[in-house]
C-alpha cells in the first residue's frame, strides 16, 4: 500500500488561503476505476482511496506513515509568489513584445 503526502491547493470556492495549511495523507488507488454497468458511476474495488487524513505538519504525516509501515511519497508544495502592485501600476507604460 502506497500513499501520497501533500499540501492541498485552495479550491475554486475559496477566496483566501485559510484552510490550506494542513498536510494530507492520501492512499494511491490499488485497483483501476471502472464505470458501474447499471448507473454508469465510476467505482473501484479498493476502499482505501476514500481515506484522507489531515496533519498539521509534514513531519507528523511522515511520522504516521513510518509508524504504520506505509510506503509514501512526499509532494512538496509550491510557494506562492506575490508581486506587490498598486493601482498606479495599471497605468505605467509596459514594453510591448
Closest CA to 21 of 77, 63, 68: 77
Name which of 60, 66, 59 is nearest 3 in CA terms: 66
Give Rg (Cα) of the chain.
20
The answer as to whether 35 is a domain residue is yes
Is 87 part of any domain?
no
* CATH assignment of the domain containing 64: 3.30.160.190
* pTM of the full structure: 0.71
Mean pLDDT of 44-57: 87
Q: What percent of the chain has pLDDT over 90?
A: 36
Question: Does residue 95 sit within a domain?
Answer: no
Domain count of the fold of the chain: 1
For 13-37, write each residue's pLDDT tens digit: 877 777 678 999 999 888 888 888 8
Q: Is residue 92 part of a domain?
A: no
Q: What is the pLDDT of residues 51-72, one digit of tens each?
A: 899 999 999 999 999 999 999 9
Question: Is the sign of the CA dihedral 4, 51, 11, 66 positive or negative?
Answer: negative
Residue 66 confidence (pLDDT): 96
| Mean pLDDT (whole number) for 29-47 | 84
Amino acid at each position: 500500500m502506497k500513499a501520497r503526502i501533500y499540501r492541498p491547493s485552495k479550491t475554486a470556492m475559496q477566496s483566501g488561503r485559510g484552510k490550506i495549511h494542513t498536510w494530507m495523507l492520501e492512499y494511491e488507488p490499488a485497483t483501476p476505476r471502472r464505470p458501474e454497468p447499471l448507473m454508469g458511476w465510476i467505482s473501484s474495488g479498493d476502499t482505501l482511496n476514500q481515506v484522507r487524513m489531515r496533519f498539521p505538519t509534514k513531519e507528523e504525516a511522515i511520522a504516521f506513515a513510518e509508524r504504520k509501515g506505509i510506503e509514501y511519497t512526499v509532494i512538496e508544495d509550491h510557494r506562492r509568489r506575490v508581486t506587490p502592485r498598486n493601482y498606479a501600476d495599471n497605468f505605467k507604460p509596459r514594453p510591448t513584445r
